Amino acid sequence: MSQTPWWSRSVVYQIYPRSFADTDGDGFGDLRGIIDHLDHVADLGADVLWLSPIYVSPQDDNGYDIADYEAIDPMFGTMDDFDELVAAVHSRGMKLVMDLVVNHTSDEHAWFTESRQPGSDKRDWYVWRPAREGHEPGTPGAEPTNWGSFFGGSAWAYDEASGEYYLHLFSRKQPDLNWENPAVREAVYAMMNRWVDRGVDGFRMDVINLISKTYPLADGVLTPGDPYSFEIERVANGPRLIEFLEEMNREVGITSKQLFTVGEMVACGLEHAREYTSRHHDRLGMVFTFEHVSVDQSGSKLSPKKLHLPDLKQNLARWQEGLADDGWNSLYFENHDQPRSVSRWGDDSPEHRVASAKALATVLHLHQGTPYVYQGQEIGMTNAGFTRIEQYADVEARGQFAQATAAGVPEEAVLAGLSAMSRDNARTPMPWTPEGGFTTGTPWLPLNANTASINVADDVADPDGVAAHYKALIALRREDAVVRDGAFELLLPDDETLWAFTRTLGDQRLLVVANMSSHLAGVPISALPSLEDAELVLSSVYPGTDLQTLAPWEARVYRFRA
Ligand code: NOJ
């Protein structure tokens, strides 16, 4: 792999197509809507567009359940629209990255329909198992193992016709493919090659470290109070993962064609990330870890706890140091599975929303790695504010609600957890104008109630808006080698209010200092490098004259000679 792959200089913008822009009034975003709004992305300066899935799908998990990898779902448009999008992206000097969901398919994929027939030669394309010994198939407790699915309930679904169970780590409409079968792998690589031939520049690989499971499949340890086991080591980072990643790389020409790849990986720590992204091997460009987005959870996703800032910044720092000499970091706070960062770690009150969105952007974009901007993050969109289970569309939210309430957790507690952490927080449609501007029909999920005040048109028109700050950060990365390549050092690691670090390249150094709170913060100047002769490069609010005190959510970037 080359020493400086092109994507190590890139900024990615993620589009969740169903919530981006609707041009035919059906309430779902579509490809033509993306084409219409490409200039918004180009103006920010992002150079890679990642599209969440647009393939034919029953939409049980909003397209992460694919019924045909080779066709565009009519709800998003046609293959002609897709070709036009590729051309429009490329004509702006940008690249297009597709979501690749191959740990599982939809249960409506033709492969699975065939696989359901016990005698079919596709039977072994999925993970089928008989009932647990001594149990009547289809009865409670007869599942082949005690594994839970990520979306609640058992990870096994009983298929009456064949009297066996199939594995689904996600919803029962998302059966896991059997990657042990070479025919499956061959079919996946052939499909990827067809997309590459069509002009796509890379792939974001959905839960890709689950493709190699540890066989034989066996019961996991149960935690008290949980009917199912989540011993993730049994399904993640399995013994053949590296072999499969290298084979895929080779068969699709990922390294030779310089394709962009990012592997989404549950239970992926630093050691794994180094292995998977090492420049001495041809595997992946980078990974999405879940470590830093778990620091504010106590046990489950539905029991968030207040962020203790040192946990977040020390985690990122550990990854900066850990991948400094080999491997590469992805930098993200938001995506379609995470709540809005300004509500989660900033302050989404009218008084502090803009400044806190800018402070979060500043610290993230000044780390080393490839930053990701999730649609709406660039205008400081907030959480959805749902209070009733009926408001949620997400299969995960509904599954977790059913499982938690069945286990006796009070509804109010589950709803509070969902309101803070649910994925629908990030999936409300893009508010293009104060009136909405997303659709002329009824949106599939309501727009945020604050659309009149938080929308693209108003934010972009404001020179002090959030988007203007993102633009400045992205431009700084483009212009400044220190932002891209400088060595990282965390300062004041235990400070619960300030996030401070330096980046150093040769005799060039940047100092980033941010007040991550809604009150004034004193800065222990003596613990920071001297700012004599320093130049203020960027600030998130109108800067005061010195650095003794920072305004709420004020973030500054200084440049000086090391
Ligand atoms: C991760 C995706 O980001 C998420 O949206 C999806 O539900 C699961 N993988 C299953 O595909």
pLDDT value of residue 225: 81
Per-residue model confidence as pLDDT tens digits over 11-36:
999 999 999 999 999 999 999 999 99
Give residue 206 CA to ligand 1 midpoint distance, Å: 6
For a mutational test of ligand 1's pocket, the pick from 15, 16, 64, 107, i.e. the residue with the most ligand atoms closer than 8 A to its C-beta, is 64
Contact 304, 296 (CB under 8 A): yes
d(Cα 157, Cα 389) in Å, to the nearest integer?
Answer: 25
Q: For the CA atoms of the chain, what is the radius of gyration?
A: 24
Give kind and range of the element (H or E) at residue 98. Answer: strand 95-100
For a mutational test of ligand 1's pocket, the pick from 14, 167, 205, 207, i.e. the residue with the most ligand atoms closer than 8 A to its C-beta, is 207
- Ligand 1 atom with minimal separation from the 61 CA: 7
Structure tokens at 550: 């920072």
What confidence category does residue 3 fall into, taking pLDDT thresholds of 50, 70 and 90?
Answer: low
pLDDT value of residue 226: 85
Give residue 396 CA to ligand 1 midpoint distance, Å: 10
Which residues contact residue 48 at a Cβ distance below 8 angstroms, ignoring those fewer than 6 apart?
A: 7, 10, 11, 12, 13, 94, 95, 96, 97, 201, 202, 260
Give residue 249 CA to ligand 1 midpoint distance, Å: 22
Per-residue model confidence as pLDDT tens digits over 207-266:
999 999 999 999 999 988 889 999 999 999 999 999 999 999 999 999 999 999 999 999
pLDDT value of residue 2: 46
- Ligand 1 atom with minimal separation from the 335 CA: 3
Q: Is 136 labeled as catalytic in the residue annotation?
A: no
From the candidates 159, 264, 347, 554, give the one annotated as an active-site residue: 264
Per-residue model confidence as pLDDT tens digits over 262-297:
999 999 999 999 999 999 999 999 999 999 999 999
d(Cα 219, Cα 333) in Å, to the nearest integer?
Answer: 34
Ligand 1 site: residues with CB under 6 angstroms? 61, 64, 101, 170, 206-207, 264, 336-337
Q: Which residue, judged by its Cα, is nearest atom 8 of ligand 1?
A: 64
Structure tokens at 254: 């990922």
pLDDT at 50 over 60: yes
C-alpha distances in Å from residue 456, one per residue of 36, 275, 375, 451, 453: 14, 40, 10, 9, 10
Contact 160, 168 (CB under 8 A): no
pLDDT at 1 over 70: no
Structure tokens at 106: 């939809």
Closest CA to 294 of 263, 237, 333: 333
SS3 of the chain: helix, strand, coil, percent, to 5: 30, 20, 50
What does the chain come to in residues? 562
Give residue 334 CA to ligand 1 midpoint distance, Å: 14
Per-residue model confidence as pLDDT tens digits over 343-378:
999 999 999 999 999 999 999 999 999 999 999 999
- Ligand 1 atom with minimal separation from the 396 CA: 7
Give percent of the chain with pLDDT exceeding 90.
94
- Ligand 1 atom with minimal separation from the 65 CA: 11
Q: Work out the burial of residue 469: count CB atoms within 10 Å of its CB; fewer than 13 is exposed, 13-18 middle, 19 or more buried.
A: buried
Give residue 101 CA to ligand 1 midpoint distance, Å: 8
Give residue 178 CA to ligand 1 midpoint distance, Å: 18
- Ligand 1 atom with minimal separation from the 170 CA: 10
How many helices (H) and strands (E) in the chain? Answer: 15, 20
For a mutational test of ligand 1's pocket, the pick from 105, 167, 206, i.e. the residue with the most ligand atoms closer than 8 A to its C-beta, is 206
pLDDT value of residue 161: 93
Closest CA to 13 of 50, 44, 53: 50
Give residue 357 CA to ligand 1 midpoint distance, Å: 25
From the candidates 22, 61, 206, 480, give the one annotated as an active-site residue: 206
Give kind and range of the element (H or E) at residue 490. Answer: strand 487-491
Give residue 427 CA to ligand 1 midpoint distance, Å: 13
Question: Which residue type occupies 501?
Answer: F
Q: Is 206 labeled as catalytic in the residue annotation?
A: yes
Q: Which residue, judged by its Cα, is nearest atom 2 of ligand 1?
A: 206
